[in-house]
Amino acid sequence: MDAGYTVEQLRAAAADAVRAPSLHNTQPWRFRLRDGGIEVLGDPSRRLPATDPSGWGMRIACGAALFNLRVALAVAGVPATVRLRPYPAEPDVVARLVPDVPRRPTPADQALYAAIPRRFSNRAPFWPDPVPADARWRLAEAARAEGAWLELLIGMSAVNAFAEIARSAHKVLERDPSYRAEREEWIRAEPAPDGVPVASGGPQSEPQDLLPSRSFGGRNRAPGRDFEPEPLVAVLGSPGNTAVDQVVAGQALQRVLLTATDAGLAVSMLSQPIEVPSAREQLRLSLGRFGTPQMVMRIGFGQPGWPTPRRNVDEMLDLPITQG
């Protein structure tokens, strides 16, 4: 190929890609340049064996990083054509991006791009103000644009039914010592390039909480107080549950998260009911939708917060020896 991507384009776009979310902020991705194409790879050494035995979480995170990469390249005027899982013999290669016809970035590309460094998981309670109808519509559209669906749970009975499934999944996970050990291993009390900083971990949960929150060592709350009145809960799903479907869902997740950030909304993720197969099946049946739930989000107007650290992008690049 004569007009491929350059090392500089790869490095710049990868610096945006790594702002994607990942389980416990493990950042389980790598990027390489091969025959003029940028390739996104899962990094199996950063998969969580107890929390993510199947690699679902790694593929969601890589899909989210891939979405950032696409947006960054589009804004740089060098948009990509993407092939997912291009080499059957190399399942760790999540996607290959080759240059498409150059074009000027659209206002939508620019808005999504501007949201990349501003997005973060906001685990604090949200204000009671409801998410407006036009924002809800934009979030659902964002998922649809990436080949996924977003189901917003309407009314307290739907939220309560979901909460029961989520709480029992949370209990199942917390009973597993290796799962607990993994969660604790990735809590960061001191500055670090990966893991969940205690200050971003949100407050400790209380027995009366509607939604179960993963404990990342956050501060205690005033006992007996409700976390928040009526959260907006959204379930993101994909048509199937193959490895490709999970990468598609990761891209859709990131588009939803960036769209929410652009709309001034805060989001946190809760994936316990996705990680426990029986809970995921119950959730699927309760929604009555075709396809598989891939992520759950809590969406609202949040208190101020800040992005979490990332490793140096150069640690995640495999550059060809002949270039760079």
Ligand X SMILES: Cc1cc2nc3c(=O)[nH]c(=O)nc-3n(C[C@H](O)[C@H](O)[C@H](O)COP(=O)(O)O)c2cc1C
Query: What's the count of helices (H) and strands (E) in the chain, helices before strands?
Result: 9, 11
Show the binding pattern over residues 186-205: x = contacts ligand X (CB under 6 A), - = does not.
Answer: ----------x---x-----
- Residue 302 tokens read as 């949040």
By CB under 6 A, what part of segment 118-137 binds ligand X?
A: 120-121, 123
Is 241 a binding residue for ligand X by CB under 6 A? The answer is no
Is 272 a binding residue for ligand X by CB under 6 A? The answer is yes
Is 308 a binding residue for ligand X by CB under 6 A? The answer is yes
Is 254 a binding residue for ligand X by CB under 6 A? The answer is no
In the complex, least distance from residue 14 CB atom to ligand X, rounded to whole angstroms: 16
Instruction: Please give the DSSP secondary-structure letter assigned to residue 24.
Output: G
Is 59 a binding residue for ligand X by CB under 6 A? The answer is no
β-pairing verdict for 29-34 and 317-318: parallel
Beta-sheet strands, E only, within the chain: 29-34, 37-42, 80-84, 93-99, 149-152, 187-188, 196-197, 232-238, 266-269, 292-300, 317-318
Is 214 a binding residue for ligand X by CB under 6 A? The answer is yes
Q: Which is nearer to ligand X, 99 or 284 (CB)?
A: 284
Number of Cβ atoms within 10 Å of the Cβ of 18: 20
In the complex, least distance from residue 216 CB atom to ligand X, rounded to whole angstroms: 7
Only one of the segments 74-82, 126-134, 155-163, 265-273 lies at the binding site for ligand X (rule: CB under 6 A); that segment is 265-273
By CB under 6 A, what part of segment 2-21 binds ligand X?
A: 21
Residue 85: what residue type?
R
Is 150 a binding residue for ligand X by CB under 6 A? The answer is no
Cα distances (Å, whole numbers) of residue 194 to 8, 26, 188, 238:
24, 6, 8, 28
Is 246 a binding residue for ligand X by CB under 6 A? The answer is no
b/e per residue 295-313 (b: at least 16 CB within 10 A): bbbbbbebeebeebebeeb
Is 32 a binding residue for ligand X by CB under 6 A? The answer is no
Is 279 a binding residue for ligand X by CB under 6 A? The answer is no
Per CB under 6 A, residues contacting ligand X are: 21-25, 57, 60-61, 120-121, 123, 196, 200, 214, 268-272, 307-308
